[in-house]
Amino acid sequence: MKRIALVVAVLCLVASNAAAQLEKGSFMAGVSSAIAMGGSWGSELMSLGFSTTKYKYGSDPAEAEWKTTSYNLLPKGGYFIIDNLVAGLEIVITGYTEKDVEDDDKWSESLLGAGPYVRYYYPLEKIYPFAEAEFLFGSYKDVYVDEEYKAGVMMYGISLGAAVPLGSVMTIDIMAGYHSATYNYKEEYEGADFKEICGGFGIKVGVSVYL
């Protein structure tokens, strides 16, 4: 217990006495994960989780057990083109798998995309508020047993957040904002192109490193 308290105290001391490098010419690399507040799975842009679901009808024992796995990460890299303003490239890597334990029926979704982002910091003494915008393109695949559907995806997001310094080259980033995703399916629906548009609010948590 004393060791844990000592580590926490050291981290707090480092955070209060260090500043991340936000000057022109610096590089930034990071990765984020998020908690969805609304919208559909595809608009979250970030999450990571494992769960098991059981269904119960009336007083009968629980049955129809499903196991699910999801990952939704957004690594990014950028360059400070002027002081406090970083621009760069994001890559979104997402997936979701749901499996019936009894008969092995499986449903899965996956998405891979990339695009530009910009983030502007307003550094204060111990915390750095910022605004961020992102715009990504990618491809989506939905598979259920032997059926497969594909779509092109366009995503954008706008967030406000704050970076808390943790040493001279690292920050913990917390942000909240709106994200939207538009799916353009290759198959036609009743003679017309089929699109799915979803959006929602989310809270993101990430780590950034400055070099």
Residues 6+ apart with CB under 8 A from 140: 42, 109, 110, 111, 150, 151, 152, 153, 183
Q: Region 182-202: what's the mean pLDDT? A: 75
Give per-residue pLDDT as tens, 61-106: 655 566 777 777 789 999 999 999 999 999 988 887 877 766 767 7
Residues 6+ apart with CB under 8 A from 168: 18, 19, 20, 21
Q: Region 143-164: what's the mean pLDDT? A: 87
Instruction: Supply the pTM of this predicted model.
Output: 0.73
β-pair partners for 70: 49, 96
Residue 137: pLDDT band with limits 50, 70, 90: very high
pLDDT at 122 over 80: yes
Question: Which domains, and CATH codes, for the chain?
Answer: 2-210 (2.40.160)
The amino acid at residue 62 is A
**Parallel, antiparallel, or unpaired: how do β-strands 192-210 and 128-144 relate?**
unpaired
| Backbone φ and ψ of 200, nearest 5° | -175, 175
